[in-house]
Amino acid sequence: MPQILLQADNLSRSYGNFQALKPVDLSLHPGELVTLVGANGSGKTTLMLCLSGLLRPTTGNISLEGYDLYGDERNARRRLAFVPDVPVFYPDLTAWEHLQVMAMAHGAGGEFEKRARELLGEFGLWDARDLFLHAYSRGMRLKLALALALIRPFSVLLLDEPTSALDVQSTELLCQKLLALCSADTAILLTTHDPHLTGQLNAKTWSIHDGILSTN
Amino acid sequence: MMESYLPTDLRAVWLVRSRKLQSDMEFWLILIGYDKKEHSFGSWLYLVYVIIFLSVWTFAVLVLLADFAGQILRALPFDSPLTAAAAIGAAALTVVFLLELYSAARRSPFVFSDADATLLCLTPVDRRWVALIWFLGAWISRGIFLWCGAIVLGYGHLEAQFPGELTTADLPRYLLAGIRMLAIMIPLHFAAQSAAWAFGAWRLSWKHDRSAIRLLAPVLAVLIIAGLIFIPSRGEAYFPIWTWGITFPIQAGLGGASLPAGVGMVLFLAAAGVLLLWLASERMSLARAAQETRDQELLQSALLFGASDLAGEIRQKKRLGAERKPSRLPIRPGLAALLWKNTVQGWRSISLVQILQWTAVPGLALAALKMPDWVTRVGLIVIWIAFVSERFATPLRKDLSRWWMLRQYPFSSEQLLISILARPLILVVLGLLAALSLAAMTGAAIPPAAAWLSIPGASGVALATALDIFRQCRSGRLLEGYVPERSVLTILMGVVVVGISSGAVWLMSAVFSVPGWVVTLLAFGICSALDYGLYRWAGYLLRNIH
């Protein structure tokens, strides 16, 4: 049996009396690429936020390569990268400095400059690297959030509607990157409303409806 | 219908502007507890009561200030309190005018929101009406402090004329003095502001901006000072003739010259000012004005509604500009990267206000140490705790508002806490040590334990702040960028930490006569143990934010 990179048991989340996510068990394996689809308000983002540790689940446990996300934060977070749909950045750091902090905090200092140059070049942000983020468009911010995820080591990547503000070329690039990551045994879960993206990635699809996840 | 006789352009502009004025008015009404949807007689009566109460209160405060103003007028080196008051009034008005002029040379005085920009700036509406309506909407709020100052000058002049002789029976004289000054100062301020805004409107009609125009106000200031030095007054007149346009009406307002002549003069100046604005605004670019002031409008709204975080970010954005070369501060991998981030952020947030706030850390501590009585000292310590906790809350709240990033760093909650609090903690401890040194140098008896306790004492306040904020945090709200403020619990816990350690020092040194080094060691130990408890608790809360 292949190693499990991300595992969630009995995961649920309620807002008051409203149960946005019904109890669910799920797991992601190395090289697995899954798209999560569902209507607006179906619970996609709630699930992604719970899995990424940004939203504390009402019930259940999440572990990354066996490390509990809340019990062993340091080891679990080293293995997880998350890209939100609307990333908010520090107003007083430039794009380059954001990358620097994230890479260095994860101990990825050695090849930082080369890696950052590559990523920013690929996403078309190289000329805008010294800008503060208020000067960035929504698409540019999303690209930077992707670069922030990709600049450091991880084994599980969670993306919440990563193509919502991307142009065609950037979407193509993202697809290539995701496929390359999968072949390097990274597990990826992404939410999307874009059927072309699902087709392009040839990914397994999970669907969520009224907070009930179907992984079949 | 009266409205239908008005020009169409004016009606359109008024429609847009009145929305903003109405919402501002509603804000103030809510603030005083008046419900505009409640149409009962009682509600109306409450509004009248509040207006009368606030008017009487303002009058009382201004009368209280009058005694102090009278003393100053008598003490100033002028030939009489009348000329002193006229000189102060003229100087204040000139400064206000020069500041308005300087501001108008840099940025449009006409502030437009996004909605205004969409509704008005893209339409061919007559720009002169826009200028006039926007000016009238902003004029009162900009002049209110100057008018109050004018009333105090009027009262102060009265006090200076009859020192110690005025009683409550003289209240009508006070009222009259205030009304005379207002009758002069309101039109004068109207004239000065409309002239400055006319300049702003004229600048907005240029195709290209000329940065040299920003020097106009400083050059004018220098010319005025030079004029006062090199063109003295002649004959019996105290003020030079070229200043009479301002000094004569102010003297009239103070009772030193004919009031009708003074009022006539200021009304003429006000009419000239508004005519100037009307003529200068014909070709002004509203789109450019909107571009220049969009942030300003947001800032004003943020300040009005108490969104201090947003206001701070807008100010910082303006100060930082769009671009910056990477910081030269060397960055190291691991937790040091977060310390680097917080240091760079702290460095970039430096402003005059920040410097003043940080100066207050040793300042308040020094004041507390030098106070002879314990009651005042304790009061100052409580204020110090409230003040210092704000220094810790700012970086904490900034990081928590980027919850998605904070949660991605591969560190434990306790490590994150250390990385955020380390920089302000070091600064607070240094400030405390500076205050202790200054107090010792100026003769205060400072026990050695106090220096040692500054570290765990400041840490206790920092951790109390963190704990208080974390306990109120909800992850759903953090994701929306909403981070709770400190509550009174921060101060209570800070007082407990500082109180227990200071109490231990006092108990052992004053009651049990324990040697100094034992006192220091024990107090340090107690305070550190408390800090450790708070540290673990705060870490637990951060890890388990629901």
Give residue B235's pLDDT: 67
The answer on A119 and A141 residing in a single domain is yes
Only one residue has tokens 């809510």, namely B30
Q: Is there a domain that residue A179 lies in?
A: yes
B1 pLDDT higher than 50: no
Tell me the average pLDDT of chain A. Answer: 91
Domain that holds residue A40: 1-79+154-216
With beta carbons under 8 A apart, name residues in chain B contacting A97: 326-327, 341, 344
Q: Name the band, by pLDDT with cuts 50, 70 and 90, for residue B4.
A: low
Count other C-beta atoms under 10 Å from residue B502's C-beta. Answer: 19
Q: What share of chain A is helix, strand, coil (3-state, %, to 5)?
A: 35, 30, 35
The answer on A63 and A30 residing in a single domain is yes
Query: Cβ of B331 under 8 Å from any chain A Cβ?
Result: yes
Helix axes B8-31, B127-161, angle to 10 degrees: 50
Determine whether the interchain pair B401/A88 forms a contact, defined as Cβ–Cβ distance below 8 Å.
yes
Chain A residue with minimum CA distance to B409: A105
Q: How far is CA B373 from CA A137, B405, B434, B497, B510, in A?
A: 59, 48, 22, 21, 17
Considering A49-63, B169-183, B289-303, the range whose residues carry the highest mean pLDDT is: A49-63
Higher model confidence: residue B412 or residue B21? B412
Q: What is the spatial distance between Cα B215 and Cα B431, in angstroms, rounded to a whole number?
A: 39
The answer on A123 and A206 residing in a single domain is no
Only one residue has tokens 């100087």, namely B91
Nearest to A105 among B327, B348, B409 (CB): B409
Q: What is the spatial distance between Cα B192 and Cα B93, in angstroms, rounded to a whole number?
A: 8
Of all residues in chain B, the percent with pLDDT exceeding 70 is: 98
Domain final residue, candidates A153, A171, A202: A153
Query: Cβ of A96 under 8 Å from any chain B Cβ?
Result: yes
pLDDT digits (tens, 9 = 90+) for B337-384: 999 999 999 999 888 888 988 999 999 999 888 887 888 888 889 999
User: Among B58-67, B228-237, B271-280, B436-445, which is the least confidently predicted range?
Assistant: B228-237
Give residue B451's pLDDT: 82
Rounded to two decimals, the ipTM of the complex is 0.92
B167 pLDDT higher than 80: no
Q: What is the spatial distance between Cα B404 and Cα A86, in angstroms, rounded to a whole number?
A: 10
Determine whether the interchain pair A105/B338 forms a contact, defined as Cβ–Cβ distance below 8 Å.
yes
A12 pLDDT higher than 70: yes
Which DSSP symbol is given to B117? I
B173 pLDDT higher than 90: no
* Identity of the amino acid at A216: N
Q: Is there a domain that residue A37 lies in?
A: yes
Residue A62: CATH number of its domain: 3.40.50.300
Q: Is there a domain that residue A213 lies in?
A: yes
Q: What is the spatial distance between Cα A141 and Cα A133, in angstroms, rounded to a whole number?
A: 7
With beta carbons under 8 A apart, name residues in chain A contacting B540: none
Q: Is B173:B255 a contact under the CB 8 Å cutoff?
A: no
Q: What is the spatial distance between Cα A153 and Cα B465, in angstroms, rounded to a whole number?
A: 34
The answer on A149 and A96 residing in a single domain is yes
Higher model confidence: residue B236 or residue B175? B175
Query: Cβ of B321 under 8 Å from any chain A Cβ?
Result: yes
The answer on A148 and A196 residing in a single domain is no
Q: What is the spatial distance between Cα B119 and Cα B82, in angstroms, rounded to a whole number?
A: 50
Determine whether the interchain pair A94/B326 forms a contact, defined as Cβ–Cβ distance below 8 Å.
yes
Q: Is there a domain that residue A84 lies in?
A: no
Determine whether the interchain pair B405/A90 forms a contact, defined as Cβ–Cβ distance below 8 Å.
yes
Q: What is the spatial distance between Cα A13 and Cα B209, in angstroms, rounded to a whole number?
A: 56
| Token pair for B247 | 């000094």
Nearest to B327 among A88, A97, A102 (CB): A97
Domain final residue, candidates A124, A153, A182: A153
Q: For A55-210, where are the alpha helices, taking DSSP H only?
A: 73-78, 95-105, 112-122, 138-150, 168-183, 195-201
Q: Is there a domain that residue A180 lies in?
A: yes
Q: Is there a domain that residue A33 lies in?
A: yes
Residue range A179-201: mean pLDDT, rounded: 89
The answer on A173 and A137 residing in a single domain is no
The answer on A33 and A124 residing in a single domain is no
Tell me the average pLDDT of chain B. Answer: 87
Q: What is the spatial distance between Cα B49 and Cα B505, in angstroms, rounded to a whole number?
A: 53
Chain B residue with minimum CA distance to A107: B333
Pairing of strands A59-64, A6-15: antiparallel
The answer on A144 and A50 residing in a single domain is no
The answer on A58 and A4 residing in a single domain is yes
The answer on A130 and A108 residing in a single domain is yes
Q: Name the band, by pLDDT with cuts 50, 70 and 90, for residue B9.
A: confident
pLDDT digits (tens, 9 = 90+) for B419-449: 999 999 999 999 999 999 998 888 877 777 7
Domain final residue, candidates A104, A133, A153: A153
Q: What is the spatial distance between Cα B204 and Cα B209, in angstroms, rounded to a whole number?
A: 8
Of all residues in chain A, the percent with pLDDT exceeding 90 is: 73
User: Is 0.80 surpassed by the pTM of this model?
Assistant: no
The answer on A96 and A1 residing in a single domain is no
Give residue B3's pLDDT: 53
Q: Work out how many domains chain A is built from and give that number.
A: 2
What Rg, from alpha-carbon coordinates, does chain A have? 17
Only one residue has tokens 């409205």, namely B3
> Mutate which of A65, A104, A133, A150 to disrupt the B interface (most B C-beta within 10 Å)?
A104
B415 pLDDT higher than 70: yes
Side-chain half-sphere of B46: how many Cα atoms within 13 Å? Answer: 13
Q: Is there a domain that residue A85 lies in?
A: no
**Which helix or strand (DSSP H or E) is residue B193 part of?**
helix B171-204
In terms of phi and psi (left: phi > 0; alpha: psi -120 to 50; beta: otherwise), the region of B166 is: beta
Which DSSP symbol is given to B514? -
Determine whether the interchain pair A73/B316 forms a contact, defined as Cβ–Cβ distance below 8 Å.
no
The answer on A97 and A60 residing in a single domain is no
Q: What is the spatial distance between Cα A27 and Cα B348, in angstroms, rounded to a whole number?
A: 44
Residue range B241-269: mean pLDDT, rounded: 92
